[in-house]
Structure 1
């Protein structure tokens, strides 16, 4: 291994007491391949098994906390019936010594009647800003309280299934973000209106998950929160909004905050005059108080080191581990020159993509680098 890359392979211990072997995290990526009832398929086990070796910890694709919060092929943590299936997934991920973290979410207004079997729900009856978006039904106050409890119950199931942690998915336009966003949250009760009230649901979920971990975990159990720092919609989440939320989250005892941006050096989408990467702004503001995971187009080991040099202690790889499952092993063995940078059709078997995932990535030109010859 080159000396330059040694910082990537230093262990890291979280506040919960969980220690990971290195600074590389497998980002949560949707496989769209679970059974209709949300249980894990053999294809998914093979997909994870192909990628887990050497990773500090693996974030699974998102698992819904209620069955009306799914999308086609998503995992479920919505019922005790799923615990056995989740246990098998945790065991698959941990089979190579890697920590397993279950990401928990609710799709909210990003779902469809066809996928959830009923009208989608959200903070308010406001459709997403896309042409085919359905108008969701506004959750009642009682349903909001029940939703909070559902995140706690999903956490309990993750603990009982043997996962090493959970990540609360407050990003990528799903339900928790919908409550935080002034675009999707037009409520005038305790859950919306002012910025303070728009933070109420995310913070209630965090408090419920924290309480559940305290009640059920018998060994160190890590927990994090994922956030998208800005929205382009008007009105939409601003970086100033997010900084206020993050400053509240950092005092909740979380192990980390996972910042979802398109590129690790991306500057503000809303403030075009800003020349400082969003991740750097966040790291400088709260990084001394809570570990920050950076993600976004970290392709090469030099990119990863560059991200670490911004002060970030942990780096998530997503598409890079889809294209090259042996990315970490090759860097560790000094074979970074052999890292696969594009996919050929004959690579399919080696990459162990589930059928639905293979179809998905092929249908979106440019999302993954496919060889043209």
Structure 2
């Protein structure tokens, strides 16, 4: 191994004494490849086997907590106890490769395609369509909101029963938790909307419910993380200032980690604060060593991963890199970083063990990966 990259392979220990073998995390990535009944498919299991050996922790693709929260065709389900055996297959598969297994839990809100949810009805904080969409959601009632909060706890209990090492609450990327935090999608005038503090209520109550369930059903070794997006381009929309308030609140919630969702790790704020520092710098200042931060976004090379750690994050997450090069971690560890594949060859689907639905997305979505013949 190149000694410059030794820090990537240092152990990391959470406050609950759970230890990761290195600082590299597989980022959560939707793969569109589950069975029609919501169970995890064999193709998905093979996909995770291929990518779980080197990393210290795998955060799975998201699973929906209620039927009306299903966000993608081919998404595996976490909304019923009937799914526990399916979820156990996934957790066992990841853990058998030597990585910790964390289940990402979510509700798609207004981002759900109407044709895959019950009665074609989509829901959000308010009846405001996403920018560029003609699908107008129904505003959730307070009873429905409370039911969804409970559902996040129920899916956490299933994750515990299925043997996962933890859950990650998906509060990023424009899905329901994000929608409640956003002044674009949340125009409510009750206790769940209006001021910044009221827009925080739903995300923080989900956190509290997940923590309550973990305290009742798991031991202290169970990990709870939270993923967030720092800003959104819409007006009105989440600003960096808003997010620093969210992060400050979350940092006092006794979670195990925060996970920022970024396309570019080194990007600077759009609005709300001065652009003299990167978003990561602002986040680390706000967290102030209260809990670990996972960084992600355009980290391709081991040199970039090491630079990200040097910036102060505790772990780095790789997504697209592990799609193109499942052996990224092993090659760096063995001093073979020059052999890391940085493009996606149309001939390599079998070699890369990528299920058909995901493969078609990767090949046909321009700009996501550098695809070559």
- Superposition TM-score, scaled by structure 2 size: 0.97
Displacement of 1:54: 1.5
Aligned to 1:284: 285
Determine if contact 2:126/2:185 at 8 Å carries over to the other structure.
yes
RMSD: 1.2
Aligned partner (choices 119, 122, 130) of residue 121 of structure 2: 119
Distance in structure 1 (CA, Å) of the matches to 2:279 and 2:18? 27
Greater shift, 113-122 or 333-342, is seen at: 113-122
Specify the SS of the correspondent of 2:280: helix
Distance in structure 1 (CA, Å) of the matches to 2:300 and 2:143? 45
Aligned 1:293-372 pairs, distance under 5 A: 293-371=294-372
Determine if contact 1:67/1:78 at 8 Å carries over to the other structure.
yes
Deviations 1:87-138 (A, max 9, x none): 00001111111100000000000012112132110000000001x3300011
Displacement of 1:73: 1.0
Displacement of 1:218: 3.3
Aligned to 2:170: 169
Aligned 1:183-332 pairs, distance under 5 A: 183-218=184-219, 220-270=221-271, 274-332=275-333
Specify the SS of the correspondent of 1:302: helix
Distance in structure 1 (CA, Å) of the matches to 2:130 and 2:353? 33
Displacement of 1:193: 0.7
Aligned to 1:40: 40
Distance in structure 1 (CA, Å) of the matches to 2:363 and 2:276? 34
Q: 1:2 to 1:83 in 2, by over 3 A?
A: same
Determine if contact 1:148/1:208 at 8 Å carries over to the other structure.
yes
Specify the SS of the correspondent of 1:63: strand
Determine if contact 1:52/1:96 at 8 Å carries over to the other structure.
yes
- Superposition TM-score, scaled by structure 1 size: 0.97
Greater shift, 279-288 or 313-322, is seen at: 279-288
Specify the SS of the correspondent of 1:315: strand
Counting matched residue pairs gives: 371
Displacement of 1:219: 5.4
Aligned to 1:23: 23
Displacement of 1:227: 0.3
Determine if contact 2:31/2:74 at 8 Å carries over to the other structure.
yes
Deviations 1:36-88 (A, max 9, x none): 22210011001000000021100000000001111211121100000000000
Aligned to 1:142: 143
Deviations 1:338-364 (A, max 9, x none): 000111122110111110000111111
Distance in structure 1 (CA, Å) of the matches to 2:173 and 2:183? 15
Specify the SS of the correspondent of 2:365: coil
Gapped runs of 5+ residues in structure 1? none
Specify the SS of the correspondent of 1:346: coil
Distance in structure 1 (CA, Å) of the matches to 2:3 and 2:283? 28
Deviations 1:285-337 (A, max 9, x none): 21411111000010000000110110111100000000000000000000000
Deviations 1:8-38 (A, max 9, x none): 0001111222111110000000001112222
Determine if contact 2:239/2:271 at 8 Å carries over to the other structure.
yes
Distance in structure 1 (CA, Å) of the matches to 2:211 and 2:17? 15
Deviations 1:139-182 (A, max 9, x none): 10000001100000000000000000000000000000000000
Displacement of 1:271: 6.2
Aligned to 2:57: 57
Greater shift, 70-79 or 320-329, is seen at: 70-79
Distance in structure 2 (CA, Å) of the matches to 1:202 and 1:15? 23
Aligned to 1:103: 104
Distance in structure 2 (CA, Å) of the matches to 1:271 and 1:142? 33
Aligned to 2:76: 75
Q: 1:148 to 1:97 in 2, by over 3 A?
A: same
Determine if contact 1:112/1:119 at 8 Å carries over to the other structure.
no
Distance in structure 2 (CA, Å) of the matches to 1:272 and 1:254? 26
Distance in structure 1 (CA, Å) of the matches to 2:313 and 2:240? 18
Determine if contact 2:53/2:97 at 8 Å carries over to the other structure.
yes
